[in-house]
Amino acid sequence: MTALAPVQRSMRRATAVHHSSGYRRRRRRATFLGLAFVSPWLIGLLAFGVYPFVTSLFYSFTAYSTLEPPRWVGLANYAQLAGDERFATAVSNSIFYAVLAVTLETVAALSLAMLLNQRIRLRAFFRTAFFLPSVTPVVATAIIWLWMFNPRSGVVNSVLEAVGIDGPGWLADPSWSKPALVIMSLWRIGTAMLIYLAALQDVPRDLLEAAEIDGAGALRRMWHVVLPMVSPVMLFVGITSLINALQLFTEVQVMTGGTGAPADSTLMVAVYLWQTAFQNFNMGYASAQAWVLLLLIMALTVITFRLSRRRIHYGD
């Protein structure tokens, strides 16, 4: 036995090495197969995400017209932005639209969710009906609302005239063009409504029953129980809606032809960026606008988080 002990140890060592190398081969094979399966997504991410992101940052420091190679100009594009009155108008329009649209969308979507959370007849039908507009193509929606906002023959002014109100010019009036876009944005609150509806159904029933036993009415239960419990969802929906609103493009492009008319009252940052890049072919300046828009979105997002920090209840 003593003479065989070294041989046995050598055999066990060889077996362990064999199993270890086999395990490593299986791990490498599994890793390779995993990378092979996700490679289409990785290639798409690199080609359509990372590469444009990095390239636009480089172009923002260059003069690039797509007809000539980019020429390094440093911070000249950003200095030009600081004195660009149209860009300032676009930023002002975008912030005005985003703040007003997100506020009204939040109130409307949460109100609808609370209503459709009650035990009413045809509840499933109404939930579907209010959600359907959110899956309608944006271009089709914009064309329909363009017809509805027609000052002379549109449905909106016809209804107002029927009740004795002289309707405004809507998209033909600089004072009413942005409110018209905000009203149109309320047409697509179905997704936010469903998210709020799911959050409302997750509110513990025992809290509502305890508040009712303590004598709290419907409004007090909503203010002190329901809203705190759904506040994290409100923050999430509010921030995502704010980000989308600051990037408003398709509706304005379809309804005004990308001009920002009337009198630049609907000129949003994304629309001005499109004009700079694809009408004036100034890709370097357009890239600088895109990065300023990114910084604006980040700043407003951080401000939203800071202002809501003490008002968000995450529970235990």
Residues 33, 110 share a domain? no
- Residue 34, domain member (yes or no): yes
**Residue 315, pLDDT score:** 63
Give the C-alpha separation, 208 to 167, whole Å: 44
Give the C-alpha separation, 162 to 173, whole Å: 21
**Residue 68, pLDDT score:** 86
CA-CA distances (angstroms) from residue 115 to 123, 199, 228, 301, 316?
9, 13, 18, 29, 27
Q: Phi and psi of 65, rounded to 5°?
A: -110, 5
Residues 116, 12 share a domain? no
Which residue has 């046995």 as its token pair? Answer: 8
Which CATH number is 307's domain given? Answer: 1.10.3720.10
**CB within 8 Å of 142: residues ≥ 6 apart:** 184, 250, 251, 254, 255
**CB within 8 Å of 290: residues ≥ 6 apart:** 56, 60, 273
Which residue has 């513990």 as its token pair? Answer: 204
Q: Which structural domain range is residue 171 located in?
A: 84-311
Handedness of CA 193, 195, 199, 202 (dihedral sign): positive
Predicted confidence pLDDT, tens digits, the chain (316 residues): 555 555 455 555 555 545 566 667 888 888 888 888 889 988 999 999 999 999 999 999 999 988 889 999 999 999 999 999 999 999 999 999 999 999 999 999 999 999 999 888 888 899 999 999 999 999 999 999 999 999 988 999 999 999 999 999 999 999 999 999 999 999 999 999 999 999 999 988 888 888 888 888 888 888 888 899 999 999 999 999 999 999 999 999 999 998 998 999 999 999 999 999 999 999 999 999 999 999 999 999 999 999 888 888 876 5
- Residue 79, domain member (yes or no): no
Residues 124, 269 share a domain? yes
**Residue 176, pLDDT score:** 95
User: In this structure, what token pair is assigned to residue 26?
Assistant: 């299986």
**Residue 15, pLDDT score:** 54
**Residue 8, pLDDT score:** 54
- Residue 196, domain member (yes or no): yes
Residues 129, 13 share a domain? no
Structural domain tally of the chain? 2
Residues 248, 131 share a domain? yes
Residues 212, 166 share a domain? yes
- Are 303 and 244 a contacting pair, CB within 8 Å? no
- Residue 95, domain member (yes or no): yes
Percent of the chain that is helix, strand, coil (3-state, to 5):
75, 0, 25
**Residue 123, pLDDT score:** 87
Please give the radius of gyration of the chain, using alpha carbons only, rounded to the nearest integer: 29
Taking residue 149's Cβ as centre, other Cβ atoms within 10 Å add up to 24
Helix axes 177-185, 85-116, angle to 10 degrees: 30
**Residue 65, pLDDT score:** 87
Residues 117, 25 share a domain? no
- Residue 51, domain member (yes or no): yes
